Structure 1
Amino acid sequence: MKIIVTSIFVQDQEKALEFYTKTLGFVKKHDVPAGEYRWITLVSPDDQAGTELLLEPNANPTAREYQEKLFTENIPATMFGVADVREEYSRLINQGVRFTTEPTEMDQVTLAVFDDTCGNLIQIVQN
């Protein structure tokens, strides 16, 4: 068994698509109409056959509340791996991304947390 799709709730799919592709550098894999929303998945440019990230609308009140509570409590919605956290931090800062946690070493892991502008905090870790 393996993870093939994981989702993240977003307030606005189009805004999320722009942020996750243009700012973070993910590649759009699927963009299919699904009722009043879309089935939008992204993949890493380095692993286009890998796990897909679904930009899931938070239209359901339970989803919206879950997303808001995570954000309010400063809990990242998900985690992405990067080769160098400090380098990625600098790249994203230069693109105007707001970080809530600057690069921090915790035991054997270096991490940072940023606001994805779509209702989520995202943690990056050096892998």
Structure 2
Amino acid sequence: MRITLANVFVDDQDKALAFYTDILGFVKANEIPLGEARWLTVVSPEAPDGPELVLEPDGHPAVGPFKNALREDGIPYTSFAVDDVHAEFERLRGLGVRFTQDPVEMPGVTTAVLDDTCGNLIQIASG
């Protein structure tokens, strides 16, 4: 068994695609029209055949309260691995990304939390 898809709920697929590709550095893998929305996925350029991240529209009534509760409590929706959290923090901050948590060193891991501009907090981590 292996992970092939994961998702992040976004309030605007166009804005999400721009942020996740132009800012975070992912690469668009699929874009298939599905009525008002699209099946829209991105992948890591380091693993183009690896797991895809679905930029999922957040229109379902259960999603809004869920996303709001996570944000209000400062809980990241998901986490992405980076080689160096401090370097990535500086790179992203230089691109105007807003962080809700600056890099924090913990035993075995360093993390930081950013706002993806689409309604989510996302953690970056390196070990």
* Band of TM-score, shorter chain: over 0.9
Taking the aligned partners of 1:65 and 1:53, their CA distance within structure 2 comes to 22
Residues 42-86 of structure 1: CA deviation (Å, up to 9, x unaligned): 000000000000000000110121111111111000000000000
Shift of 1:35: 1.8
Number of residue-to-residue matches in the alignment: 127
Taking the aligned partners of 1:100 and 1:19, their CA distance within structure 2 comes to 17
Q: Which deviates further from its counterpart, 64-73 or 51-60? A: 64-73
Shift of 1:38: 0.4
SS at match of 2:92: helix
The aligned amino acid for 1:70 is L
TM-score normalised to the size of structure 1? Answer: 0.98
Name 2:3's counterpart in structure 1.
3
Quote the RMSD (CA, aligned, Å).
0.7
Residues 20-52 of structure 1: CA deviation (Å, up to 9, x unaligned): 000000000000001210000000000000000
TM-score normalised to the size of structure 2? Answer: 0.98
SS at match of 2:62: helix
* Runs of 4+ off more than 2 Å: none
Taking the aligned partners of 2:56 and 2:65, their CA distance within structure 1 comes to 14
Taking the aligned partners of 2:117 and 2:95, their CA distance within structure 1 comes to 13
SS at match of 1:69: helix
Name 1:41's counterpart in structure 2.
41
SS at match of 2:66: helix
Shift of 1:16: 0.3
Taking the aligned partners of 2:33 and 2:6, their CA distance within structure 1 comes to 18
The aligned amino acid for 1:62 is A
Give the unaligned 5+ runs of structure 1.
Answer: none
Taking the aligned partners of 1:28 and 1:52, their CA distance within structure 2 comes to 9
SS at match of 1:86: helix
SS at match of 1:75: coil
